Amino acid sequence: MGATLDIAALRARSTAPPEGVDLAAAREDGHGCHSGKAALDKAALQAATQAAGLGETLAALKRDYPAGPHDQPQSMCPAFGSLRVGLRMRRTATILSGSACCVYGLTFTSHFYGARRTVGYVPFNSETLVTGKLFEDIREAVHAVADPAQHDAVVVINLCVPTASGVPLRLLPREIDGVRIIGIDVPGFGVPTHAEAKDVLAGAMLKVARAEAERGPVAAPRQGRDGRPSVTLLGEMFPADPVQIGALLDPLGLALGPVVPTREWRELYAALDGTAVAAIHPFYTACTREFEAAGRPVFGSAPVGHDGTAAWLDAVGEACGVARATVAAAKNRILPAIRAALAASPIRGRITLSGYEGSELLVARLLVESGAEVPYVGTACPRTRFSDADREWLEARGTQVRFRASLEQDLAALDDHAPDLAVGTTPVVQKAKERAIPALYFTNLISARPLMGVAGAGSLAQVVNAALGNRDRFAAMRAFFSGVGEGDAAGIWEDVPKAPPALKVLPKRPAPPIGEMA
């Protein structure tokens, strides 16, 4: 059952609510949106977490995911990343511990993005939070859900308030009837982006799987093994991309390994069994730590465009011990087709690019090799050693690369570079269109396309060139709707509107006699 919770120590805490908290509302909602600005301040939440005994947890998050220029996430709640990873895995149950409003938003978003599985929730109020009853409720929920006939693992995610209050998920049992229990803290004041929150859960699962593999035999992959050394891929990507990468690995005598985050538990063992790990998304810090602890070399970048594919094949060969002649032969076979695909689908125009998925630098490389001018790339993700090759390649071609970019910096790029097309997040796209600049939403229209190998070369041209061709249409629309939604037409008055002048009432003229009417 694991360590037990010292309920007496928890009950010794003061039950007085923090300053500014509406206690009546908090009893119903567990703080949440009723806490007031002071209680929801990042520094206050961090101080509360330290005082609650989770200082080391917060310190570990800071080491893995250093903050950027903004104090709070400027995108969706980061915990969505961990929730998404758990909901996409077979035989995995997910339980959220957080304020009701947060859980509602996360559940709504998860189903909006296609989740077809129930999200568990353990409600709380001010009393159960302070006295430790919330932890007992979570433990009861885990025991109720941990059915080995249905689940390999149960994931429990602490959101902001339970983390700041010190709810100790580390004291949950490690397993129940063979079902693994994975407890993680994913507070918005400790994990900057939802992309990195994927790494929080994937890394926690890899750690457990690595310990299991070290203790003895584990389950084989569902699809079996073909005997060749394999390369594990790190980072969520468009479904066609792993297939393209597999085609690039084949002439090197290598097999395609699992993609992490995985779709079921047994794939974690196969991922750890890979000869090397390709960090397609370079910010998976916790996962990288587990792979390196397992003795697996990790290398960055991805096979995007001509130059990116050439450098990536060299990196694969070095990491997996493939003969240089074999790598050279594969490059001679693959690269001409990529060069031809790029030449057949040129992109002409100045494009600024920003996003929070982690693949922004890869997309920028592909746009540049397609002929576009890309003066600015902003990513909400951090700079790591695995992103250096992409950064250096882009900077050598005049691109400013901004890691941990804030919305303000992304918007400033519109002013500084006057692009023909802006690719970015929702607020960037909105601001660009207000200025009659064609714009595309990165997540749905760009990252949801193949980027790797021959299929990736030219894949962006159709949607990008179509958007570039809309400049005149945007200008015409702006001219037609000029002034609408601005100033007084926006429905917002800076001053009290003046009353219109009184109408002059004209004297009533008598009707002429009937005989005089025309």
pLDDT tens series, the chain, 518 aa? 333 334 344 334 333 444 444 444 444 444 444 444 444 566 677 777 777 777 788 788 888 888 877 666 667 789 999 999 999 999 999 999 999 999 999 999 888 878 888 999 999 988 898 889 999 999 999 999 999 999 999 999 999 999 999 999 999 999 999 999 999 999 988 899 999 999 999 999 999 999 999 999 999 888 877 889 999 999 999 999 999 999 999 999 999 999 999 999 999 999 999 999 999 999 999 999 999 999 999 999 999 999 999 999 999 999 999 999 999 999 999 999 999 999 999 999 999 999 999 999 999 999 999 999 999 999 999 999 999 999 999 999 999 999 999 999 999 999 999 999 999 999 999 999 888 899 999 988 898 899 999 999 989 999 999 999 887 777 777 777 776 777 666 666 667 767 777 767 777 777 666 665 54
- Residue 423's nearest CA partner among 356, 345, 511 is 356
Place of tokens 């190998």: 453
Contact 278, 299 (CB under 8 A): yes
Burial class (CB in 10 A: 0-12, 13-18, 19+), 240: middle
Pairing mode, strands 175-176 and 179-185: antiparallel
Q: Which long-range contacts (CB under 8 A, 24 or more apart) does 333-341 make?
A: 333/251, 334/248, 334/251, 334/309, 334/453, 334/454, 335/306, 335/309, 335/310, 337/454, 338/305, 338/306, 338/309, 338/453, 338/454, 338/457, 339/306, 341/454, 341/457, 341/458
CA distance 159 to 133: 17
| Edge-to-edge strand list for the sheet holding 230-234 | 255-260, 230-234, 276-278, 298-299
Contact 49, 158 (CB under 8 A): no
Within its chain, how far is the Cα of 199 from the centroid?
Answer: 10
CA distance 32 to 87: 24
Contact 447, 424 (CB under 8 A): no
- Residue 192's nearest CA partner among 50, 388, 404 is 404
Q: Residue 97: its pLDDT value, please? A: 96
Q: Which long-range contacts (CB under 8 A, 24 or more apart) does 149-152 make?
A: 150/91, 150/93, 151/91, 151/92, 151/93, 151/179, 152/90, 152/91, 152/92, 152/179, 152/180, 152/264, 152/265
Q: Residue 479: its pLDDT value, please? A: 72
Q: Which helix (H) or strand (E) holds 183?
A: strand 179-185
Place of tokens 């520094």: 43
Place of tokens 């090397």: 276
